[in-house]
A and B are shown apart, each in its own frame.
Chain A
Amino acid sequence: MNEQLTKYLMMLGDNAMILGHRLSELCGHGPSLETDIALTNISLDLYGQVRSYFQYAAELGGEEVSEDTIAFLRKERTYLNVVLVEQPNEDFGHVIVRQFLYDMFQSFMTPALMNSADERIAAIAAKSIKETRYHLRFSTSWMKRLGAGTEESKARIQAAVNHLLPFADEFFVMTAIEKEMYEEGIGPDLQTFKEDFYSKVKEVLIEAELSMPESAPRVVKGKTGIHSEHMGYILNELQYMQRTYPQMEW
């Protein structure tokens, strides 16, 4: 049971960490100072959530395990984030769409986790709900701004939607871990909010004067540790210090 719970915590934390990592790559490079600050804020919030989940996982893991060994010293195949969050910062449009899809999913996931039978998870979710709402408001407002802005912005954001939306289906695939967590009352049945997720996404796309792509969902399995080719490079940077200088305090 503890082993599965630990993996579930990693799954929750890894999503936030890898997305936080992608956002942190943009710090100092944003299209304006205000968006730079806003994206960094989101990254900070996500890393805060990562620490909560990994500290909890570390407590379940025994003496040699810490939030940092969980974050930095696993092999790629044991990171359990969805493939969507690994996708690179192609342009600001891709950054916004990736964020929007993640935030929209979290707007269902976080309230569901607030009802978790695991009190600690429920508390972490309760703490992050305000952040989740703020992030969704931010990404939704930029979806609209870019969709209804100029011809160029519309083309760019539509291209990003077409590219990234097919990755969203992975959110709703119930892996063995998630099934067990559902049976224990710790996590939700993801299928229950799949339909609402897509109808909300569609609502925003319509308001943003964008169209819903027809393409089929991507076959991706990040939640079982099978990642995109981007992941190795992310971990290369993320783990650099811990791998080069093992077992030191920083």
Chain B
Amino acid sequence: MDNIENLSARFQERIDAGEKIEPKDWMPEKYRKTHIRQISQHAHSEIVGMLPEGNWITRAPSLKRKLGLLAKVQDEAGHGLYLYSAAETLGISRDEMTQQLLTGKAKYSSIFNYPTLTWADIGAIGWLVDGAAIINQVMLTRTSFGPYARAMVRICKEESFHQRQGYEIMLTLCNGTPEQKEMAQDALNRTWWPSLMMFGPRDEDSPNTKQSMAWKIKRKTNDELRQQFVDITVPQAEFLGLKMPDPEIKWNEERGHYDFGAIDWDEFWQVVKGNGPCNKERIAARQKAWDDGQWVRDAALAYSEKRSNCGERSEGIKVQRSKGKIA
């Protein structure tokens, strides 16, 4: 008899055997919910992440950099699209997810609640924020839920390009004038700690980690990923000739890792709770885009309905389940 316990046991066996779970497969309700939460949070991070970088598109210092940044921010919109689609396979619509973002029910990566104050921040975001994201995402290419894992494979390829682009911006600044190098150092100083916070709370403060590991949603803990990031990044900063903004960073021969100083977790939780420097502005910008776009989405839907009533196929636009959604 297929009672829940049997189904759960069978589900865990499949996970343990390394099988991918597909949308139509049976899954525990908590597995579904956890994925909706995690994938939509990831999608929202891509979309909100467009804002701090978008802040420098009109002011990019050269045509080449402007094109690079435009293309990068556009890639993030594309990542948002794949991820929303992956989450939709679990039975939630993009509009619902957007509402969860706007009402604060759903979170996004706190790093995007920090402001981009100079051009060097665009370099630092590419290098550090995309760098940290890649470490997470490479792990997620092997996650147990098929659509999420496949979206990650595609996203990782583009992210690593973004990261190289960011590092190259930093390298150009560091090889430039003293003023440029100072700009790069300042961006590192401001971005470093929030980047470390991207991996989430310490393992002992992360209640979801154990279940996520058992379901192979995560394959490494927050602290393991954070250490991996520090180990990769410190030599990269040395190569740039920049000073790490943490006097406690030191190679530990015994551990085979860099030691690093304590993260300000009060700041982390404050920003998560909505009190960061730009939380309100980020959500206000998304709300404005949503509100300003309402009449456009309504028009597209009305037009497509009229066309299909006339027996014509609407060209180049697909209107999905819920009102106002254009694909």
Query: Which residues on A are within 8 Å of B, measured CB to CB?
Result: 21, 24-25, 27-37, 40-41, 43-44, 47-48, 50-51, 54, 67-68, 71-72, 91-92, 137-138, 141, 144-146, 148-150, 152-153, 156, 237-238, 240-242, 245, 248-250
Q: Which of A91, A153, A241 contacts B61, CB < 8 Å?
A: A241
B74 touches A27 (CB 8 A): yes
Q: Which residues of B contact A248 (CB under 8 A)?
A: 61, 176-177, 179-180
A33 touches B63 (CB 8 A): no
Q: Which residues of A contact B62 (CB under 8 A)?
A: 68, 72, 250
Q: Is the interface of B mostly helix, strand, loop or mixed?
A: helix
Q: Which residues of A contact B119 (CB under 8 A)?
A: 241, 250
Q: Assuming A67-B63, A149-B298, what are 13 further A-B pairs, CB within 8 angstroms?
A: A28-B47, A28-B73, A28-B285, A31-B292, A33-B77, A40-B77, A44-B74, A51-B67, A92-B292, A150-B298, A156-B295, A238-B58, A241-B119
Q: Which of A25, A51, A245 contacts B63, CB < 8 Å?
A: A51
Q: Which of B73, B169, B177, B326 contacts A34, CB < 8 Å?
A: B326
Q: Which residues of B contact A149 (CB under 8 A)?
A: 298-300, 302-303
Measured CA separation A51–B71 after assembly (Å): 15
Q: Which of B63, B169, B293 contacts A32, CB < 8 Å?
A: B293
B300 touches A21 (CB 8 A): no
B299 touches A150 (CB 8 A): yes
Q: Which residues of B contact A36 (CB under 8 A)?
A: 74, 77
A32 touches B316 (CB 8 A): no
Provide the B218-245 mask, 1 if CB < 8 A to any CB of A, else 0: 0000000000000000000000000000
Q: Which residues of B contact A28 (CB under 8 A)?
A: 47, 50-51, 54, 73, 77, 285, 289
Q: With an 8 A cutoff between CB atoms, is B57 at the interface? A: yes
Q: Which residues of B contact A30 (CB under 8 A)?
A: 289, 293
Q: Which residues of A contact B71 (CB under 8 A)?
A: 44
Q: How far is the CB of A98 from chain B (nearest CB, A)?
A: 15
Q: Which of A34, A47, A138, A152 contacts B299, CB < 8 Å?
A: A152
A47 touches B59 (CB 8 A): no
Q: Residue of A at shortest CB range from B175?
A: A249
Measured CA separation A28–B81 after assembly (Å): 13
Given contacts A32-B293, A145-B317, A153 and B299 within 8 Å (CB-CB): yes
Q: How far is the CB of B105 from chain A (nearest CB, A)?
A: 20
Top 4 nearest A-B pairs by Cβ distance? Answer: A31-B293, A149-B299, A153-B299, A241-B61
Q: How far is the CB of B322 from chain A (nearest CB, A)?
A: 12
Given contacts A27-B57, A40-B77, A91-B292, A54 and B63 within 8 Å (CB-CB): yes
Q: Which residues of A contact B74 (CB under 8 A)?
A: 27, 36-37, 40-41, 44
A31 touches B297 (CB 8 A): yes
Measured CA separation A48–B294 after assembly (Å): 31
Of B77, B84, B325, the most chain A CB neighbours within 10 A belong to B77
Q: Residue of B at shortest CB range from A43?
A: B70
Q: Which residues of A contact B64 (CB under 8 A)?
A: 51
Q: Which of B50, B66, B326 contacts A35, CB < 8 Å?
A: B326
Of B66, B73, B288, B316, the most chain A CB neighbours within 10 A belong to B66
Q: Which residues of B contact A137 (CB under 8 A)?
A: 316
- Chain B residues with a Cβ closer than 8 Å to the other chain, count: 54
Q: Which residues of A contact B292 (CB under 8 A)?
A: 29, 31, 91-92
Q: Which residues of A contact B172 (CB under 8 A)?
A: 249-250
B81 touches A27 (CB 8 A): no
Measured CA separation A50–B177 after assembly (Å): 28
Q: Which residues of A contact B327 (CB under 8 A)?
A: 34
Q: Which residues of A contact B146 (CB under 8 A)?
A: none
Q: With an 8 A cutoff between CB atoms, is B323 at the interface? A: no
B63 touches A50 (CB 8 A): yes
Measured CA separation A72–B173 after assembly (Å): 19
Q: Which residues of A contact B300 (CB under 8 A)?
A: 145, 149
Q: With an 8 A cutoff between CB atoms, is B60 at the interface? A: yes
Q: With an 8 A cutoff between CB atoms, is B80 at the interface? A: yes
Q: Residue of B at shortest CB range from A242?
A: B61
Q: Which residues of A contact B80 (CB under 8 A)?
A: 33
Q: Which residues of A contact B250 (CB under 8 A)?
A: none
Of A25, A44, A237, A249, the most chain B CB neighbours within 10 A belong to A249
Could you show 16 A-B contacts with beta carbons less than 8 Å apart?
A: A28-B47, A29-B292, A31-B297, A34-B327, A44-B67, A50-B63, A141-B315, A141-B316, A145-B303, A145-B317, A152-B298, A153-B299, A237-B58, A238-B58, A250-B61, A250-B172
Measured CA separation A30–B326 after assembly (Å): 12
Measured CA separation A47–B316 after assembly (Å): 24
Q: Which residues of B contact A35 (CB under 8 A)?
A: 293, 296, 326
Q: How far is the CB of B74 from chain A (nearest CB, A)?
A: 4
Of B47, B67, B299, B326, the most chain A CB neighbours within 10 A belong to B299
